[in-house]
Every structure is written in C-alpha cells, then in structure tokens.
Homo-oligomer: A and B are copies of this chain.
Amino acid sequence: MKSLKNRRTIRKYSDKPVSDKLLNELLEIAARTSTTGNMQLYSVIVTRDESMKATLAPAHFNQPMATQAPVVLTICADFNRFNKWCILRNAVPGYDNFVSFFNAAMDALFFAQTFCVAAEEKGLGICYLGTTTYNPDKIIDILALPKFVIPVTTITLGYPEVIPPQPDRLPIESFVHHETYNDYKPQDIDSYYSNKESLPENHQFIKENHKETLAQVFTDVRYKKADNEHFSKVLLETLKRQGFHKG
C-alpha cells in the first residue's frame, strides 16, 4: 500500500539494468489480472535493443523516456492469438468488431496497470506513453503487428534516477458520486480545481505559454482540438486496418 500511496511517474532512469528474471516475474504476476472470459486478449512487445528504441522514438514524439529507459513495453490489444486458436479448433471467431477491440483493450490496460503496480513495489519506476494511440499505425509497422493486434499503451521501465515531487490530485469528492451522478455547479468546479490552480508550477506554466488560465494551456497547447481530431481519425482507421471494422 505504501508504494501505491507514494507513487509518482518516473521519467529519468539510472543505469541499473532490469534483469530478464525480474521482468518475467512481473509479467507473470500481471497475467493474474482479471481478463474477459479468461481469454487474455493482450500481447506485450519487449524492446531492449537500442536501435529498436530509436526507431520507435518518433512515434512517441521523441520523448526522452522512450530511448533513455532500459526497457520499453508496448502493450497491445490482441485478438490474433485467440482467433488463430479458434480457427485451428473448428470454431468461427466473430471478433472483427468494435466491442471486441474494446474488450481486448480493457484486458490489455488492466494487465498494464497491474504490471506497473508490481514494478513499483519492486522499486522500479514507470512512465506511460499516451502517444501510443496517437501513432498506432507507425508502431504497428515497426513492431510488425499482424491483423487483430493494436498497441494501446507503452510503458517505459527502469530504476529511478531522480524521484520527482508527487503531483497534485483532485479531492476524491470531485470524482466520486453516490447512487446517481451529481453534476457540477460552477462553485463545485471552483472548489475542486482551486488547489491545482494555486500551485506555483501551474502559474509558471500559464506564464511560459502566454495564456490567461491553466485550462487554456490544456485546450490551446497540450491537448488541442485539431490534434485530437487528427488522432481520432488515425485511431479509427487503424481499428479498421487491423480488422475490427464492424461497427
């Protein structure tokens, strides 16, 4: 529980290697995670090779973690293995559709998160790369992912070089609702976001970006409408290309 409470994302890694033995132990623990009908609809691509990391890096917008981490794990929603099993066993798979992709993505994401918790418990640090679903097409080509396999997230893994301060979080009453959804009034929003908006680093963030409010840094700089619409198209086209074409 202590490592869960104290956790922070680690973006700078030491030279200490991550052994195959430890990595395999963590992958085996993660496979205990809940999975849809015990189908285990995921695969993990382990990248240790420096030239493979460099090839993947542009798909992650060259974030330094993508090459600096000793291990990079691409976590994929995978119906390929299950489909192949079905076909070899005289069964006709019906998983070329959106909900099947989503089931596989859930399996993959639950697996990824248990892996991260276990890794942190062992003293390792992780960072998720959200860029995975922005450039899934490029990652598919680089890692030679077949039909029915889609990368959904990437974990960079290593021993921490620098342990940063813990970031702020919203108070739990802001995201917990009892019995039905209690929609937010302006005064609720003011109250829930006041701590975040008061932080010196966020004032700095607004200044650096020449914006009026922290929210504008998100909408105009970090997570822009035009980018989101572009990445939505890429992701939906990738679902179709990989075989999940039935709406």
* Interface set of A (CB-CB < 8 Å, partner B): 1, 4-5, 7, 9, 24, 27-29, 31-34, 36-40, 42-49, 52, 78, 80-82, 84-86, 88-95, 97-100, 102-103, 105-106, 109-110, 112-114, 116-118, 121-122, 126-128, 130, 133-134, 143-146, 149, 152-153, 166-170, 172, 174-181, 183-184, 186, 189-190, 192-193, 212-216, 218-220, 222-226, 228-229, 231-233, 235-236, 246-247
Contacts and interface: CB of A to CB of B under 8 A. Distances in A.
Given A43-B175, A189-B81, A99 B180 contact: no
A31 B166 CA distance: 12
User: How many copies make up the complex?
Assistant: 2
Contact of A38 (B94, B117, B167): B167
A148 to B, nearest CB: 11
A11 to B, nearest CB: 12
Contact of A4 (B95, B117, B149, B233): B117
B144 A40 contact: no
A229 B34 contact: no
Nearest to A140: B181
Contact of A116 (B34, B95, B98): B34
A31 B1 contact: no
A37 B94 contact: no
